[in-house]
């Protein structure tokens, strides 16, 4: 699959902005709080944010005391928004596809990424490239869509429901069949890659990372009851999966 830049599609970009403008959404209520809970102290650290999007995380890293933040993204529209709304003296934004991160040529105290690795064709290869960008003893924290979610190919409903529309359970089909998925989501032919949980874990281990923590998306019962239409399905499946990894220090290898 070619490098995907769906966020420069006008329709997709405008719909994305609209959804993020609503304070009650999956990113702000579920994904971001969990991701940030897994971060180490950022005080005085150099940070690389892969797929920085509109720059909210990069700006927050700056506020949290990072010495410098490099945010990269393939989307010109996203970077334009980031520079306008989430800039700071210690933040640099650069248009660069994640497949090309080998061009960066420096190492960081922390590498992060939020919900962009679904688009990568060669996940193990990307993990190896990221490993070279992380300083020895430093950390790599990221989120991506949960494999239970990416297994969906649009050929069937996500949930089995009652006659009144209540979700009974999530449907799972072809989970063990890895590869690209094309679904109609905002735009026709939206593409992502599906992999099993074991493939993600083995790619990280194969790249040389130590996995220190893994979390799956969760939300409070109160939020689920308050917004059943939006979050009702979270009782049946996790939307996202999170990893905190560390590149071994020299002493770890003896």
Whether 68 is in a domain gets the answer: yes
Whether 55 is in a domain gets the answer: yes
Tens-binned pLDDT, residue by residue, of the chain (254 aa): 456 555 555 565 566 665 556 678 888 899 999 999 999 999 999 999 999 999 999 999 999 999 999 999 999 999 999 999 999 999 999 999 999 999 998 999 999 999 999 999 999 999 999 999 999 999 999 999 999 999 887 778 889 999 998 999 998 889 999 999 876 655 556 788 999 999 999 999 999 999 999 999 999 999 999 989 888 899 999 999 999 999 999 755 54
Whether 37 is in a domain gets the answer: yes
- CATH at 107: 3.40.50.150
CA distance 189 to 185: 8
Whether 224 is in a domain gets the answer: yes
Q: What is the pLDDT of residue 13?
A: 57
Whether 166 is in a domain gets the answer: no
Number of separate domains in the chain: 1
Task: List the one residue out of 192, 219, 41, 27 whose CA is nearest residue 120.
Answer: 192
Contact at 8 Å (CB) between 69 and 61?
yes
Distances from the Cα of 218 to the Cα of 22, 88, 243, angstroms: 19, 32, 14
DSSP state, residue 67 = S
Whether 225 is in a domain gets the answer: yes
Distances from the Cα of 86 to the Cα of 97, 118, 249, angstroms: 20, 24, 33
Task: List the one residue out of 115, 119, 114, 110 whose CA is nearest residue 48.
Answer: 110
CA distance 150 to 172: 10
Give residue 37's domain range: 6-145+197-249
Whether 161 is in a domain gets the answer: no
Whether 184 is in a domain gets the answer: no
Distances from the Cα of 11 to the Cα of 3, 17, 47, 81, angstroms: 19, 10, 31, 16
Contact at 8 Å (CB) between 98 and 51?
yes
């Amino acid at each position: 699959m070619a490098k995907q830049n769906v966020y420069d599609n006008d329709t997709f970009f405008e719909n994305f902005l609209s959804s993020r403008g609503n304070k009650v959404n999956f990113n702000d209520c579920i994904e971001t709080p969990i991701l940030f809970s897994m971060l180490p102290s950022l005080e005085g650290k150099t940070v690389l944010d892969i797929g920085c999007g509109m720059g909210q995380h990069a700006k927050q890293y700056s506020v949290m005391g990072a010495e410098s933040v490099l945010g990269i993204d393939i989307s010109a529209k996203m970077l334009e928004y980031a520079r306008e709304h989430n800039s700071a003296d210690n933040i640099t934004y650069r248009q660069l596809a994640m497949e090309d991160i080998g061009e960066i040529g420096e190492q960081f105290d922390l590498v992060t990424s939020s919900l962009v690795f679904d688009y990568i064709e060669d996940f193990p290869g990307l993990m190896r490239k990221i490993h070279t960008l992380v300083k020895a003893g430093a950390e790599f924290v990221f989120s991506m869509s949960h494999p239970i979610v990416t297994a969906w190919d649009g050929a069937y409903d996500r949930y089995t429901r009652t006659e009144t529309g209540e979700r009974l359970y999530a449907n799972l089909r072809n989970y063990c069949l890895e590869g690209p998925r094309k679904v109609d989501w905002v735009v026709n032919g939206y593409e992502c890659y599906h992999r099993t949980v074991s493939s993600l874990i083995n790619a990280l281990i194969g790249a040389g990372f130590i996995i220190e923590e893994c979390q799956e998306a969760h939300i409070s019962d109160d939020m689920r009851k308050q917004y059943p239409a939006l979050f009702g399905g979270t009782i049946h499946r996790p939307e996202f999966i999170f990893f905190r990894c560390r590149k071994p220090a020299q002493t770890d290898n003896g």
